Structure 1
Amino acid sequence: MHDAKPAATLILLREASSGPPEMLMVRRDRAMAFAAGAWVWPGGRVDPEDREAATSDLQAAQIAAVREAVEEVAMPAVDPETLVPFARWLPKFNVERRFDTWFFLARAPQADWKLELQDGEIIDATWTSAQAMLDRIARGEASAIFPTLRNLERLAGFATIEEAFADAAAHPTDPITPWVETRGGVDHIVIPDGIGYPVTAEPLTTATRA
């Protein structure tokens, strides 16, 4: 099995005029080798330069998450140390492209900025609530990979940004590695219970890349 490549994702949150907070999601170009055409949060690999600028693997991931958001959507740079660890996923099913991915929460920069999408990687972007994106996926209007779906379901439970940060602080960020388990004669992709996720299993036939 190939070694997992370190990666980082930034879930930017902002207050909505009404209802739950919104987050910035982007749609990957269909020509991309990983998660082509899927809706994700800005992010990517941890580069050697990120590691050189850091004193720990966690800090390198925080730096990478900010850098990727700046590159992908022209986000004004924020202090990487303000990013709050939310989850860490280490899937094992795809041996060619495995990523050890940190998911971070952060408040969107106060100043509005014009979204400028990175050519060749990002083809769309939107501010959306987690539930609104889940509804789009359920209607077949959008697609997302397994870790994104599970994180969207978790994020959909928060009425405020403060609730999201409190939930992040209340749960460990040990690597989450899904596995396959037969339930009722049907193979499911499963993650552990008790780590903050409301949905912990999905039939293998409907799951998109774990």
Structure 2
Amino acid sequence: MNDRSEPGPDGIPAATVVIFRNAPDDGPPEILMTIRSRNMVFAGGMAVFPGGRVDPADFDLGQQFAHVMETDEAAHQIAVVRETLEETGLAIGIAGEVDAAIARAARARLLETGTLAPVLEEFGWTLDLAQLTPFARWFPKNERIPRVYDTRFYLADLGTGAVEIEADLSENTHLFWVSAKGALEAAERDEIKVIFPTRRNLERLAQFGSYAEAKAQADAIPVRTITPFMGEKDGEAWLNIGEDLGYPVTGEPLENVARG
């Protein structure tokens, strides 16, 4: 049997999530970002959203949702639930009793088992994938790059900001809440570094004054796979995406693109 999480012609399946919370000063909503360890092969040292590759066990668990969605889609959403708990300590996409102490214990159990199913059973949780909204899918195909991720993006909402987060200190070194506009400004000041898909998604997210606005646009625009492509503008090489995908900025000079 082929390992469904291994690279193939369709890339490495991965999933990431944009987690919203209300700003403490009634300003624009904040989103959770993480700084990847510089030791990571992909996007080392970059600011990204929580997430990671989809594991075989996520596909196995996803089969229980075959009556409502494709197993492949369910597996990606389950990967978001698992990776978020592992990387940040937040329990999203979960139905059942959750408080700070329970989330800490569940995270510790997940780090022991490496799979989500036994954690769900032990803590009496069930998956509530309706908490996740598909937002985008990025697959930067490149035959010269051996490790290309086919990444699905989702939205989730915490509402309150009264939550505990803590970086796992293996894949990630720092977690922080910031508005999308604030993250873009930090990138311009070179305080954080972002790769091309992250910058485009931050620009898209900066359009919204609330999670509800972001979800409404995500529900209205069908998710289509985005594969950046080369172009030329004013004699300069540019990296671009399509014009009808919900993104206010669709390209930038290639020399400005951060390499992940």
| Alignment TM class, shorter chain as reference | over 0.9
Paired-residue identity, %? 44
Give the match for residue 19 of structure 2: 12
Q: Which of residues 61, 72, 90 in structure 1 aligns to 2:87?
A: 72
Please give the alpha-carbon distance, in whole angstroms, between the structure 1 residues aligned to 2:61 and 2:129. Answer: 11
Partner of 2:186: 136
TM-score scaled to structure 2, two decimals? 0.77
2:150 counterpart SS class: strand
Deviates more, 1:28-37 or 1:12-21: 12-21
Q: Does 1:87 align with 2:122?
A: no
Amino acid at match of 1:25: M
Comparing 85-94 with 47-56, greater Cα deviation is found at 85-94
Q: Note if contact 1:76-1:109 (Cα within 8 Å) is conserved in structure 2.
A: no
Q: Does 1:63 align with 2:78?
A: yes
Instruction: State the match for 1:201 in structure 2.
Output: 251
- Of 50, 54, 57, the residue aligned with 1:46 is 54
Query: For residue 32 of structure 1, what is the amino acid of its counterpart?
Result: M
The runs of 5 or more residues in structure 2 that have no matched partner are: 1-6, 94-127
Q: In the alignment, residue 159 of structure 1 is paired with which amino acid?
A: G
TM-score scaled to structure 1, two decimals?
A: 0.95
Inter-partner Cα distance in structure 2 for 1:80 and 1:34: 27
Give the one of 232, 242, 249 matched to 1:182: 232
- Classify the secondary structure of the residue corresponding to 1:53: helix
What is the CA deviation profile of residues 91-125 of structure 1, one whole-angstrom value per residue up to 9, with x for unaligned ones?
11362111111100011275833212112111001
SS of the counterpart of 2:153? strand
Asked whether the equivalents of residues 8 and 64 of structure 1 are also in contact (C-alpha less than 8 Å), the reply is: yes
Structure 1, residues 171-193: CA drift from partner, whole Å, max 9, x if none?
Answer: 12110000001122111001000
Q: Shift of residue 57 of structure 1?
A: 1.1
What's the offset of the Cα at 1:127? Answer: 0.7
For structure 1, the 5+ residue unaligned runs are none
SS in 2 for 1:205: helix
- From the two aligned structures, give the one with the greater helix fraction: 2
How many residue pairs align between the two structures? 210
2: CA distance, partners of 1:120 / 1:97: 20
Alignment of 1:97 with 2:104, yes or no, is: no
Is the Cα contact below 8 Å between 2:22 and 2:159 reproduced in 1? no
Change (3 A) 1:111 1:197: closer
Query: Relative to 1, partners in 2 of residues 1:111 and 1:141: Cα closer, same or farther, differing over 3 Å?
Result: closer
Encode CA deviations 1:143-164: one digit per residue, 9 max, x unaligned.
0110000000000000111100
Distance 1:82 1:153 in 2: 23
Shift, 1:77, TM fit: 4.1
